[in-house]
Amino acid sequence: MIKDTGAVDAASILFNLDDYRVLSVEASSTAGRTVIVEPISTEAGCPSCGVLSSRIQARPVHRVKDVACGGKDLQVWVRKRRLACLEDACKRRSFVQCTEQLPLRSRLTTRLVGEIVDAGMNELRAVTGIARATGVSWPTVMRKLTATEKTVGDVDGRHVRWLGVDEHRFRKVRYVLGTTGKVMRVEPWSIVFTDLETGTILDVVDGRRGPTVLSWIGKRPRAWRDRVRIVAMDMSAEFRKAVREALPEAEITVDHFHVVALSNRMVTAVRLRRSHETVGRRGRMTEPSYKYRKLLTCNVENMSSRQQVRLEEIIAADIELGVVYAVKEKVRELLKTTDLEAFGTAWEALEAGVRATTMPEAKSLLRTLKSWKAELQVFCVSRLTNARSEAANLTAKNMKRIGRGYRNHRNYRLRILLSTAGLRPC
User: Nearest approach, Cβ of 16 to Zn ion (angstroms)?
Assistant: 32
Residue number, 94 or 268, with CB nearest to Zn ion: 94
User: Nearest approach, Cβ of 47 to Zn ion (angstroms)?
Assistant: 7
| Stretch near Zn ion under the rule CB under 5 A, chosen from 6-14, 82-90, 203-211, 266-274 | 82-90
Residue number, 49 or 269, with CB nearest to Zn ion: 49
Strands (DSSP E) contained in 324-387 are none
User: Nearest approach, Cβ of 87 to Zn ion (angstroms)?
Assistant: 5
User: Nearest approach, Cβ of 65 to Zn ion (angstroms)?
Assistant: 30
Report residue 407: phi and psi, to 5°: -95, -25
Residues ≥6 apart with Cβ < 8 Å to 45: 51, 52, 53
Applying the rule CB under 5 A, the residues between 175 and 194 that interact with Zn ion are none
CB-neighbour burial class of residue 59 (10 A; exposed 0-12, middle 13-18, buried 19+): exposed
Tell me if 85 contacts Zn ion by CB under 5 A. yes
CB-neighbour burial class of residue 362 (10 A; exposed 0-12, middle 13-18, buried 19+): buried
| Stretch near Zn ion under the rule CB under 5 A, chosen from 90-98, 173-181, 234-242, 283-291 | 90-98
Residues ≥6 apart with Cβ < 8 Å to 265: none
Tell me if 24 contacts Zn ion by CB under 5 A. no
Angle at which helix 409-422 crosses helix 110-122, to 10 degrees, equals 90
Distances (CA, A) of 298 to 304, 308, 311, 386, 422: 11, 10, 10, 22, 37
- Angstrom distance (rounded) from CA 170 to CA 67: 34
User: Nearest approach, Cβ of 51 to Zn ion (angstroms)?
Assistant: 6
Residue number, 92 or 174, with CB nearest to Zn ion: 92
- Angstrom distance (rounded) from CA 36 to CA 22: 6
Residue number, 48 or 54, with CB nearest to Zn ion: 48
User: Nearest approach, Cβ of 45 to Zn ion (angstroms)?
Assistant: 8
In this structure, the dihedral spanned by the alpha carbons of residues 132, 134, 139 and 145, taken in order and rounded to 10 degrees, is -130
| Stretch near Zn ion under the rule CB under 5 A, chosen from 54-62, 88-96, 136-144, 402-410 | 88-96
User: Nearest approach, Cβ of 42 to Zn ion (angstroms)?
Assistant: 17
**Three-point CA angle 424, 251, 348, nearest 5°:** 115
Instruction: Confirm if 111 and 71 have CB atoms less than 8 A apart.
Output: no
Residue number, 92 or 373, with CB nearest to Zn ion: 92
Q: Which of 92, 93, 336, 355: binder of Zn ion (CB under 5 A)?
A: 92
Residue number, 80 or 413, with CB nearest to Zn ion: 80
The closest alpha carbon to 115, from 69, 170, 162, 169, belongs to: 69
Binding mask of the shown chain, residues 32 to 51, with x at each position contacting Zn ion by CB under 5 A: --------------x-xx--
User: Nearest approach, Cβ of 89 to Zn ion (angstroms)?
Assistant: 8
The amino acid that residue 317 corresponds to is: A
- Angstrom distance (rounded) from CA 362 to CA 355: 9
Q: Is the dihedral of CA 401, 195, 191, 204 positive or negative?
A: positive
- H/E run at residue 11: helix 10-15
Tell me if 87 contacts Zn ion by CB under 5 A. yes
Binding mask of the shown chain, residues 349 to 388, with x at each position contacting Zn ion by CB under 5 A: ----------------------------------------
User: Nearest approach, Cβ of 98 to Zn ion (angstroms)?
Assistant: 14
- Angstrom distance (rounded) from CA 163 to CA 196: 6
Residue number, 96 or 381, with CB nearest to Zn ion: 96
Applying the rule CB under 5 A, the residues between 240 and 259 that interact with Zn ion are none
User: Nearest approach, Cβ of 43 to Zn ion (angstroms)?
Assistant: 13
Tell me if 96 contacts Zn ion by CB under 5 A. no
User: Nearest approach, Cβ of 53 to Zn ion (angstroms)?
Assistant: 8
Tell me if 346 contacts Zn ion by CB under 5 A. no
| Stretch near Zn ion under the rule CB under 5 A, chosen from 66-74, 91-99, 282-290, 304-312 | 91-99
Q: Which of 44, 90, 133, 391: binder of Zn ion (CB under 5 A)?
A: 90
Binding site for Zn ion (CB under 5 A): 46, 48-49, 85, 87, 90, 92
